Amino acid sequence: MKEYRPLRYVNSMLLKRAIFIVTLLVIPLTEVAASFQGVDKLQVHGFLTQGYFLTSDNAVLGASDHDQGSLDFHETGLNATYQFSNAFSFGVQGLFRKAGVSEDTRIDYAVLDWRVGSWEDGEWGLRLGRVKNPMGLYNETRDVAFTRPSVFLPQGLYYDRSRNLVHSTDGGQLYVNLNTHIGFFELKGNVGKAENDNKELKMAIFGFDTPGELVSKRENYWGQIKFESQSGDLELALSYADVVLDYKPGTGDPFRAGATRYRPLVLSAQYNWRKAILTAEYLRQQNRFNHLGVNFPDSAVVTESYYLQGEYLFSRKIKGILRFGAHYLNKKDRGGKIAAANLGIPDHRGFTEDWVVGLSWLPSSTWQLQIEYHRLNGTSWLPAQANPDLSKLEQHWDMVAMTASFRF
């Protein structure tokens, strides 16, 4: 008898295989395709990243706390852009991503870009489809390892456990670009619904995998204003979002139908000085939880996170990085004592302080190798799926992270 497989699983497997097969076919054909007339309208690119992680304690992206470490991190992406005219273009990216026990095959973005109007010093337009969310300096490009300053982006701002929620919106984006005598201004505003793949976020909120689901039923909003000086040395950004997820209870659920609301505000600054790059970002996020029942009383807390990062270019191919980052789930409970008393969890689940030192090497324009060492105090951003027994978590721990990446 033929084995039954749910359609969702079949589609996921087909998309994963398609990304792999097309990637392997496209790599040797990219140079050949350049000889054909009109190929300049079509641009095809891809990337592959393989990671290795070793931790002294606690699990990150697989069983990293074992002596042999973990190779359970992989990203394969294939994207294409077609320029129909000066006013219209279309871009799409398929992504297969394995991160520990989490495995995801998805359309990362699919956007029809319409440049509605332009003038001497500016333009404005609309993007429709699955559009990337403007948030901080790295969210829109976080899917490609070559655009990340380190293996791990600062987790207090760029959570891996809520990547799909934060990365893109199914809806539209209005954008305006202005070139002035003091610099370049870029304004973006998104409206639409988030994806419903929020299992890790659900576990982070409730502490375990509940029978219900966090779903996006309402319009969510994302916005950013970014400034870049004429010299390109200074970049500033202000980002804001208003995101609502409804909780749909399952059979035997201890929680009722309710809602969660997140309103992050991010201040970003980056300065390039000769061979050094200084970056700082600050997050203040309001979180509200309403009507979830007696087992989860209504509450409102403010999450706070920040980091200061320095990069130094030793040469055109080698770059060093030093960073300190801090993340506090509740600004008024930085030590996690209140949450520990109320929820019966370790107090170090309420915060993480992270020192990072690392190196990046670009042996060629298509390859990148990264290695970094983390000294951590706290476990607030550790995935619950990889660490189901919170009592076994260690407050002070170390991590070595390495990735090898290829692009074309």
Q: Given a cut of 50, is residue 202 above it in pLDDT?
A: yes
Q: Given a cut of 70, is residue 104 above it in pLDDT?
A: yes
pLDDT at 207: 72
In three-state secondary structure terms, 5 is coil
Average pLDDT, the chain: 87
pLDDT at 375: 97
Domain boundaries, the chain: 7-407
Candidate from 114-123, 143-152, 157-166, 357-366 with smallest mean pLDDT: 157-166
pLDDT at 167: 87
pLDDT tier at 110 (50, 70, 90 boundaries)?
very high
Specify the residue for token string 């600050």.
Answer: 282
Over residues 232-251, the pLDDT tens digits come to: 999 999 999 999 999 999 88
**In this structure, is the dihedral angle defined by the CA atoms of residues 23, 27, 33 and 38, taken in order, positive or negative?**
positive
In three-state secondary structure terms, 122 is strand
Q: Given a cut of 50, is residue 384 above it in pLDDT?
A: yes
Residue 295 CA, chain-centre distance (Å), reads: 31
pLDDT at 33: 42
| CB contact at 8 A, 265 and 221 | no
Q: Given a cut of 90, is residue 32 above it in pLDDT?
A: no
What are the tokens at 253?
């659920």
Q: Model pTM?
A: 0.86
What are the tokens at 389?
């027994």
Specify the residue for token string 């456990």.
Answer: 161
Over residues 1-24, the pLDDT tens digits come to: 333 333 333 344 555 454 444 444
What is the rounded CA–CA span in Å between residue 147 and residue 405? 11
- For the chain, give the percent of residues with pLDDT over 70: 90
Specify the residue for token string 């976080």.
Answer: 142
Specify the residue for token string 């008898």.
Answer: 1
What residue type is 100 in one-letter code? G
User: Cβ contacts of residue 303 below 8 Å, gap of 6+?
Assistant: 283, 284, 285, 287, 327, 328, 329, 330, 331
| 44 φ, ψ (degrees, to nearest 5) | -125, 130
SS3 of 201-224: HHHHHHCCCCCCEEECCCCEEEEE
What is the rounded CA–CA span in Å between residue 34 and residue 44? 11
Q: What average pLDDT does range 347-363 have in this prediction?
A: 95
Task: Specify the fold of 7-407.
Answer: Porin (2.40.160)
Rg (Cα) of the chain, in Å, rounded? Answer: 22
Q: What average pLDDT does range 198-214 have in this prediction?
A: 79
Between 284 and 383, residue with greater pLDDT:
284
pLDDT tier at 197 (50, 70, 90 boundaries)?
low
What residue type is 155 in one-letter code? Q
| CB contact at 8 A, 53 and 64 | yes
- For the chain, give the percent of residues with pLDDT over 90: 59
Q: What average pLDDT does range 336-350 have in this prediction?
A: 84
Q: How many CB atoms lie within 10 A of CB 160?
A: 20
| φ/ψ bin of 406: left (φ > 0), alpha (ψ from -120 to 50), beta (otherwise) | beta
Q: Tell me the range of 159-168, 261-270, 341-350 where mean pLDDT is highest.
A: 261-270
**In this structure, is the dihedral angle defined by the CA atoms of residues 130, 131, 137 and 141, taken in order, positive or negative?**
positive
| CB contact at 8 A, 194 and 216 | yes
Q: What is the dihedral of CA 211, 100, 80, 167, to 10 degrees?
A: 50
pLDDT at 103: 81
pLDDT at 185: 97
| 24 φ, ψ (degrees, to nearest 5) | -65, -35
Q: What is the dihedral of CA 61, 65, 67, 69, to 10 degrees?
A: 10
